[in-house]
Amino acid sequence: MKRVGIIGLGRVGSALAYTLRDYGYDVAVVSRRVSPGEMAAVKDKKIQAVSLTQVLQEAELLFIATPDGIIGEIVTKLQDYRLEGKAVLHMSGAHSSALLVPLREQGALIGSLHPLQSFATVEQALENLPGSYFTYEGDQLLLEEVRLLVEKWGGVLKILSSAETKVIYHAGACLASNYLVALAWLGVHCLNYAGFSEEEAREALTPLMQGTVNNIARLPLTKALTGPISRGDLEVVRNHTRVLAAELPEVNQIYCFMAPFLGKLALEGQNITVETYRELLQMLMQAFTGMTKQQSNK
């Protein structure tokens, strides 16, 4: 039975502790919220809390599952220990294994393992973790261990080639996940104006957004796109920008900024002609110019 230590008991750390215990690992946690010697509650499981010194004495595999801003602090503390024969993984999506290089000098194998998933709560983390994509960047000697872990989670492992690609990968993940919430807010804002309560707007838009996500999962992006731009219906787009400019200018600004990307996607999918795409860009440029004049006159 492999001994695993987890530093940090937030949403990701809790999901790690819970699932790895199910998979037969001997799990201990280090958390500011639970004193060493006590038992940490993770849903219906009790996980032993230990000191940093104890976890380093006993664990063969160590996960750093703290917020990104604390990883450096943890690494500084770990530098006081000899780490031969141990492996240290951090779970940050934004940072590469470079943060852990000082631990390699102490004898540890190092790497970054990131679940490409959204964890709003511990419950959702437990539900969403299995079957996710996981990205790894770090020491090659850790690959076999990482593959085994991802296999137990029923996930898909993707190896990243460098620290630089890790940053761009994470930016893409943020765009697809975090910015989706911002787009939902814009849609809710429009439906609010049309007479929906916020709850009604979320209930109305969620199935629509879920249908789009289903399209993305099953179709090429050029085929998943629907709506007036995908059809080349520029009169509808023109009417959108006209009314939004007058009533919800902050929404109109985002609408006009993103529309060219939709147009490019529609063009790549051969849903619209080059002439229609150019007409769309010209129309949007005029809308941007109008917004700029309005702002300068205020």
145 in the same domain as 121: yes
CATH of the domain at 290: 1.10.1040.20
Q: For 231-264, what is each residue's pLDDT tens digit?
A: 999 999 999 999 999 999 999 999 999 999 999 9
204 in the same domain as 96: no
Question: Do the beta carbons of residue 238 and residue 274 sit within 8 Å?
Answer: no
pTM of the model as a whole: 0.84
CATH of the domain at 60: 3.40.50.720
How many domains, the chain? 2
The domain boundary residue, chosen from 103, 128, 160:
160
212 in the same domain as 131: no
174 in the same domain as 112: no
Q: In the predicted model, is pLDDT for residue 1 greater than 60?
A: no
238 in the same domain as 152: no
Q: In the predicted model, is pLDDT for residue 298 greater than 60?
A: no
Q: For 138-157, what is each residue's pLDDT tens digit?
A: 999 999 999 999 999 999 99
Domain holding 119, by residue range, is 3-160
The domain boundary residue, chosen from 136, 160, 184:
160
222 in the same domain as 135: no
146 in the same domain as 190: no
